Amino acid sequence: MALRYVDEFRDGGLAAKILLRLKKTVHGLEPMHFMEICGTHTVAVFRSGLRDMLPEAVRLVSGPGCPVCVTADEDIDRAIWFARRPEVIVTSFGDLLRVPGSESSLLEERSRGADVRMVYASYEAVKIAQDHPDREVVFIGIGFETTAPTVAAAIRQAAAQGIDNFSVFSVHKLLPPVMRALLDSDSLRLDGFLCPGHVTTVIGARAYEEVARGYGMPCVVTGFEPLDILQGLSMLVDQKRSGRHDVEIQYRRGVTWEGNPAAQKLLEEIFEPADAAWRGLGSIPGSGLAIRSAYADYDAARRFSIPEIRVRENPACRCGDVLRGVIRPPECPLFRKVCRPQTPKGPCMVSSEGTCGAYYRYTS
């Protein structure tokens, strides 16, 4: 069967028509800066070549929407602390294993003998716990609202099956609070947000209304195909020109105003909002997810006595400024010189959704 659905959203002829309309619309206007919050958008923009085709007046700013990239140094160091305990099997997603902490990475710890395992889904970590009842299995839970429900399901599964050697070190992040934090800072000029379709399938488009109305900031929820993004940018331009600041849904084939109530209920059952540390942004109130006390036995942060860890950040790495949209990757002194995908110095070069990695792969 032909992939008609995808093909339509990659139709070069239609894209050229939308681009032409966009160029005519913004001709002679001052530059507008729109942030693609999500790393998946960032990579899609580069992969499709959209960034180079956009008119000068439409400028994209990459935001802090890559879960690996925004994981703070101190949380990487805590994950490494777990890995150094002989009774612990550390599990997490592949990209996180390569992110450098103050002294090493989880991958380096594995090369030194630590039991660190990559999994593709949190339920695999539960299975490892079942298979190794004499060991403690800690899953390093990263991700936004898209991933967190699957981790919540793993915790509920472990509880239902009486698996008592599984726990989660939760460093999950929430999107709307970081959007507000970015707008509260004085270092960033923005004219609108391209909001990610996958996160919004869970939280619903209504979740951005406070950002749109409270900050006068246009928000458009888009998909990840080239025509999705082009149409989303066109909708943002139309809002800006007409002086509106609404939440609009371009990605109607996947997103509703209310989101996914089953996933939201699961998140509510297992997690509660908590302050969270973000790389480059510091601590943001209510921007993370902590495991509720009813499931404290599955909270690695309570199950283990984690000592205070002194964090040593690489002063030359400017991932934090990239994540805040203050600089572009080529402005970092390490970019392409010593920081490459094979030898990353910061998470933005490690992650498949990282802005530095995208610049490295898709620009010369």
Residue 236, domain CATH: 3.40.50.11740
27 found inside a domain? no
25 found inside a domain? no
5 found inside a domain? no
Q: How many domains does the chain have?
A: 1
214 found inside a domain? yes
State the residue range of the domain holding 347. 36-306+313-359
Residue 108 burial (10 A CB sphere; 0-12, 13-18, 19+): middle
298 found inside a domain? yes
Angle at 314 between CA 282 and CA 274, to 5 degrees: 20
pLDDT digit string, tens, across residues 95-151: 899 998 988 999 999 999 999 999 999 999 999 999 999 999 999 999 999 999 999
Distance from the Cα of residue 362 to its chain's centroid: 20
21 found inside a domain? no
Three-state SS at 93:
coil
- The Cβ of residue 222 has, within 10 Å, a number of other Cβ atoms equal to 28
19 found inside a domain? no
pTM of the model: 0.90
pLDDT digit string, tens, across residues 282-340: 999 999 999 999 999 999 999 999 999 888 888 899 998 898 888 999 999 999 999 99
CA distance 18 to 201: 25
pLDDT digit string, tens, across residues 10-62: 788 888 888 999 999 999 999 999 999 988 999 999 988 898 899 999 999 98
Please enumerate in sequence order all residues whose Cβ is within 8 A of that of 300, keeping only pairs 6 or more positions apart, or say none.
82, 138, 139, 167, 168, 169, 170
CA distance 6 to 9: 5
pLDDT digit string, tens, across residues 196-224: 999 999 999 999 999 999 999 999 999 99
15 found inside a domain? no
pLDDT number for residue 310:
87
Residue 179 has pLDDT above 60, yes or no: yes
Please enumerate in sequence order all residues whose Cβ is within 8 A of that of 50, keeping only pairs 6 or more positions apart, or say none.
44, 226, 229, 230
